[in-house]
Amino acid sequence: EPEVTQTPSHQVTQMGQEVILRCVPISNHLYFYWYRQILGQKVEFLVSFYNNEISEKSEIFDDQFSVERPDGSNFTLKIRSTKLEDSAMYFCASIPILLAGGENEQFFGPGTRLTVL
């Protein structure tokens, strides 16, 4: 069964450094999402992306964050200058196409654990 993959599984970085988290969505999917989950807290929406544009973003997704689909398969989240509070699990998700009738389950990847020291 096709699945969303994410690399690396764990990333450790120093405060102030740039990080790029990578996701490979399911091959025929067109809508992409990033969520994060700080340890012990809720899963929070960051951004959605369709047709090479941001569709929706949350207040968390400030100028330090950016997303890109550099080729036909990868979907990346870049954090320009990491802060301690960026430490979290970051989940990528995708759906194939928007259908009527609510038939749009989001397929989540296994996540990347980001640790900022």
Partner 1 sequence: DAKTTQPPSMDCAEGRAANLPCNHSTISGNEYVYWYRQIHSQGPQYIIHGLKNNETNEMASLIITEDRKSSTLILPHATLRDTAVYYCIVSLTAGTALIFGKGTTLSVSS
The residues of the shown chain that bind partner 1, judged by CB under 8 A, are 4, 31, 33, 35, 37, 42-45, 48, 56, 58, 89, 91, 93, 95, 98-102, 104-111, 113
For partner 1, which is the closer residue by CB, 45 or 64? 45
| Distance in angstroms (rounded) separating the CA atoms of residues 48 and 67 | 9
Distinct helix (H) and strand (E) counts, the chain: 0, 11
CB of residue 16 to partner 1, shortest distance in Å: 26
Q: Which among 83, 42, 84 has a CA at the least distance from the CA of 64?
A: 83
For partner 1, which is the closer residue by CB, 14 or 52? 52
CB of residue 83 to partner 1, shortest distance in Å: 21
**Dihedral (CA of 22, 28, 33, 38) sign:** negative
**Residue 88: other Cβ atoms inside 10 A:** 20
For partner 1, which is the closer residue by CB, 12 or 98? 98
CB of residue 106 to partner 1, shortest distance in Å: 6
What amino acid occupies position 67? Answer: V
